[in-house]
Structure 1
Amino acid sequence: MSLDSPVSRRLLSDEVFDRLRDSIVRGELVPGEKVKDSELAERLGLSRTPVREALARLADIGLVEAKPGVYTRITTLNRRDAEKTLAVLRSLDQLAIETAVPVMTEQDLRSMREANRDFERAVAGDDTTAALAADDRFHAVPITAADNPVLSRIVEQVHPQIHRILYRKFSTLLGGRNTIEHHDQLIDVCASGDARAAAELSGQHWSELGGHINQLFDTNQFAEAPTA
């Protein structure tokens, strides 16, 4: 949904948070861009209070940074933060899979296969938004099966940091056959019941992703145009 679409009066802070988070992930609000609660409130047709609350929550998860009295801006992309976020996601995903595999059902495995086929179709159609949504659904299956609310909450908080990198460079990072094949391999290992092997395979994928992201930083492909 566009940032400029009217916001309903229900759960305003949550809806503004979701709208701003998605705009940051998609790059509509670019890294380094200064934002003002008054201007965002005007665009959304709201008072400043829910916008300020949403910006504070976005700062808590690292998508916005503020220097009181000086600026509030969209957090820039940098290698160090990306590496730390990936390390957390790798560990959490491995924990989720190792916990989930012993209790995963045939329906869970079908859901993963369906999500991967949706992912494959989105890749073929060069639809980044649909591909990332399908990838999220794929990885959400073991996270849900693990039945660990703390793990789920932390993943939800840190995922957007990597999503905005993936969105900008999707074809380089996830757009090839490699990710589709990795997903199929992971499903097979999960179906075999080997929790440790599944977790190790997942960790390898996250490490490969980190290597690709580092290469993009090496070649300065996340450099930002100057903002006013």
Structure 2
Amino acid sequence: MPVPGRDGLLATSLLRDRAYTAIRDAIVDGTLAPGEKLVDAELSSWLGVSRTPIREALGRLERSGLVLTRPGHSTVVSPVRARETAAAQSVVAAMHELATREAVPLLSAADLDAMRVANACFAEALRDNDIDAAVQADDDFHGVAVAASGNGAVRAVLDQFGPVLRRVERMRFGSLAGRGSVAQHDRIVELCAAGDVGGAAAAARENWLTLAALVDTLED
């Protein structure tokens, strides 16, 4: 049989990913607040796409724990709950530990410099109280090890559960407590540069577990 063209499939995939990314980011940064109803027609109008990619994006967001769907009723932004956030934290911390463990033997001098630059940007963003820039710089910092590890499974898990934790991180980066991460990042780079696989992996895990105190303040 003739092989179908891929243009339609590619367009559908791009629309679905675009819808997912836009809605996810709006939830994480608080534009779409916990408890807010997500109406297909409104989201479709906002993003300029049909309802099909919107529904697919909402299904993916539900699997990540960012939205709640009540069949026959409504879809809402999930509240920031202690139990779900703690579960995501455990998974994300473990994934970054694994990524760092696998990455350390592969990190180049350019990779280490990229981590240092990202941490400097992170520190500056915290001083300026620029939460969006702080989140991006933190992503850039940890993303070096994730990319260097080449572990697609780790990236997939982080893509699913990382956004749940980002909502809490935004709270932390808006306070003085977030500045402790700068020193923790410096320590991770130092251990990576020394080739200390176990030490760097443990430091990466501990960096993510420092959110525990904030998670404990959330309601179940």
Q: Pairwise mapping of residues 73-84 of structure 1 onto structure 2 (< 5 A)?
A: 73-84=76-87
Contact 2:100/2:200 (CA < 8 Å) preserved in 1? Answer: yes
C-alpha RMSD of matched pairs (Å): 2.0
2:33 equivalent in structure 1: 30
**Unmatched tracts of structure 1, length 5 or more:** 1-7, 223-228
Quick one: which of 151, 159, 169 aligns to 1:166?
Answer: 169
Q: 1:212 to 1:105 in 2, by over 3 A?
A: same
Identity %: 36
Q: Distance in 2 between matches of 1:94 and 1:57?
A: 25
Quick one: which of 81, 100, 119 aligns to 1:116?
Answer: 119
Contact 2:16/2:54 (CA < 8 Å) preserved in 1? Answer: yes
1:3 equivalent in structure 2: none
Q: Distance in 2 between matches of 1:192 and 1:112?
A: 14
Q: Pairwise mapping of residues 42-57 of structure 1 onto structure 2 (< 5 A)?
A: 42-57=45-60
Taking structure 1 as the reference length, the TM-score comes to 0.86
1:95 is displaced (CA, Å) by: 0.7
Contact 2:24/2:61 (CA < 8 Å) preserved in 1? Answer: yes
1:19 paired with 2:22, answer yes
Q: Distance in 2 between matches of 1:174 and 1:13?
A: 37
1:141 paired with 2:165, answer no
The secondary structure found in structure 2 opposite 1:150 is: helix
Aligned residue type for 2:41: S
The secondary structure found in structure 1 opposite 2:174 is: helix
1:86 paired with 2:99, answer no
Contact 2:97/2:202 (CA < 8 Å) preserved in 1? Answer: yes
Q: Distance in 2 between matches of 1:174 and 1:20?
A: 28
1:153 paired with 2:156, answer yes
Contact 2:168/2:214 (CA < 8 Å) preserved in 1? Answer: no
Q: Pairwise mapping of residues 93-104 of structure 1 onto structure 2 (< 5 A)?
A: 93-104=96-107
Q: Distance in 2 between matches of 1:169 and 1:182?
A: 15
Contact 1:166/1:173 (CA < 8 Å) preserved in 2? Answer: no
Q: Pick which of 38-47 and 194-203 moved more.
A: 38-47
Q: 1:165 to 1:19 in 2, by over 3 A?
A: same
Count, aligned residues: 210
Aligned residue type for 1:205: N
2:4 equivalent in structure 1: none
Taking structure 2 as the reference length, the TM-score comes to 0.89
2:191 equivalent in structure 1: 189
**Unmatched tracts of structure 2, length 5 or more:** 1-10
Superimposed CA distance per residue, residues 131-150 of structure 1 (whole angstroms, 9 cap, x where no aligned partner): 11000000011111111111
Contact 1:166/1:174 (CA < 8 Å) preserved in 2? Answer: no
Q: Pick which of 118-127 and 107-116 moved more.
A: 118-127
1:204 is displaced (CA, Å) by: 2.1
1:120 is displaced (CA, Å) by: 1.1
Q: Distance in 2 between matches of 1:135 and 1:166?
A: 10
Q: Distance in 2 between matches of 1:211 and 1:44?
A: 37
Q: Distance in 2 between matches of 1:137 and 1:19?
A: 19
Contact 1:92/1:151 (CA < 8 Å) preserved in 2? Answer: yes
1:213 is displaced (CA, Å) by: 2.6
